[in-house]
Structure 1
Amino acid sequence: MTVHHLLEKESIANKFVAQLRDITVQKDRLRFRRNIERLGEILGYELSKSLRYGSENIITPLGKVKMSLPEEEIIICSILRAGLPLHTGLLNYFDDAENSFISAYRHHPNDNEQFEILVEYLASPSLEGKILILADPMLATGSSFVNVLQALETMGNPREIHLVSVIGAKQGIEYVSKEYPENSHLWIATIDNTLDERGYIVPGLGDAGDLCFGPKLQH
């Protein structure tokens, strides 16, 4: 897997990530969602540079011009619920993409720090031969991305897989890199070094789903 780390170079994306992390700013859910959406747009733009393009003639009011336009069939699949703002940002740029949605959440069967990732909902068109973009703002242990890949196997074989995330931990990225096909790509804004004993990213930003949409009922 090829990892594309956005904040290796300074850009306006630094501001959006800083606001996502800031405990005073992140209380504003609208801004929190919008900042994830903005990062989805930026990461989508960077991702677009890796796609295949073909030439088309475009008619203007004053003549004709040859333009390079994307040739790919793209499917954006977001991991519910935290993936929705990121999905929106990607869809703002890949506005003719097909859409897929899948649930993946942490289940604590023994009411302790040990958890498993459960996938209980999937709605998707065929992935066969297409570009699959998987969107989840948090890449902590990597288990969600791996379990989602397994769940999507029944939908066909994509030509290429691109993971899009806002923040990840090195441990999770290493795990995902081993489990995904070699020609896959990860587009990520920033990477932290550590996971705590509960499997949360440190320093991270907290629970992205709760910060976007409010606390959820516990299973």
Structure 2
Amino acid sequence: MVTILTKENSIANHYMVELRDVEIQKDSMRFRYNLERLGEIIAYEISKTLSYKPVTVETPLGTANHNVLEEQPVLATIIRAGLPFHQGMLRVFDKAPNAFMAAYRHTKKSGEMEIQKKYSNSPNLDEKIVIVADPMLATGRSLVLCCQDLLADYNIKELHIAAVIASEEGLQHVQAFLPDAHIWIAAVDNELTSKAYIVPGLGDAGDLAYGKKEG
């Protein structure tokens, strides 16, 4: 199942405009903040699909009945661009355990691009709800690789994937290889360049958030 937030009007559309705007992007703090805000919105939307249980809470003047989450999801992200997006989700699921992964694109001498995974640090994910956050879903290959590794190591109960912008090609790739995942995206763009950049996209999210990397 795929949910695309900006198909309907909400404040998410406003944040998307700021993320894409080449002038506003010059303020890296603002760029990170907008990633965080979209993380909060997507986390809130995901929260509507989770299971709740009734509780009674004591107030200074009596008692009140409400529902609370039956369990906290585990929040996982692909660093480095995913960190502010992840932080926004963590503000919503503020008691959630966290997992971190790193993957990068390696171009062979032949020109062929391959994805290599560098790092993974995770709590036990058996029978857990896992939300994997990666702001730019370009080819989808690094995200699929990381998720497949998690699924191979753990009996994950429910997998959610959150992205800010996806290419149509990347979205199709994720759907093909992770058919049981629920995918949450702010916007989907049509084009993907030969260097795997989404068009119109917003550029390199990691560089815009934290400064240009070497190489």
Q: Note whether the superposition's TM-score is higher than 0.5.
A: yes
Are the aligned partners of 1:82 and 1:208 in contact in 2 as well (CA < 8 Å)?
yes
In the TM superposition, 1:60-209 aligns within 5 A as 60-110=59-109, 112=111, 114-182=112-180, 184-209=181-206
SS in 1 for 2:50: coil
Identity %: 47
C-alpha distance in 1 between matches for 2:35 and 2:127: 29
Name which of structure 1's ranges 154-163 and 117-126 shifts more when overlaid on structure 2.
154-163
Aligned residues: 215
TM superposition shift of 1:213: 0.7
Q: Flag as ranges the 4+ runs of structure 1 deviating above 2 A.
A: 109-112
Distance 1:22 1:110 in 2: 35
Cα-to-partner distance string for 1:155-202 (whole Å, 9 max, x where unaligned): 4111100001100011110110011142x2111101111111222111
Q: Deviations over 1:103-143 (max 9, x none)?
A: 0111112284x321111101101110001000000001110
Specify the code of the residue in structure 2 equivalent to 1:213.
Y
Give the TM-score of the pair, scaled to structure 2. Answer: 0.96
User: 1:50 — aligned with what?
Assistant: 49
Once residues 92 and 151 of structure 1 are traced to their aligned partners in structure 2, the CA distance between those partners, rounded to angstroms, is 26
Moved more, 119-128 or 191-200: 191-200
Q: By how many angstroms is 1:145 displaced?
A: 1.2
CA–CA distance in structure 1, aligned partners of residues 31 and 114 of structure 2? 27
Runs of 5+ unmatched residues, structure 2: none
- Backbone CA RMSD of aligned residues: 1.2
* C-alpha distance in structure 1 between counterparts of 2:43 and 2:110, whole Å: 38
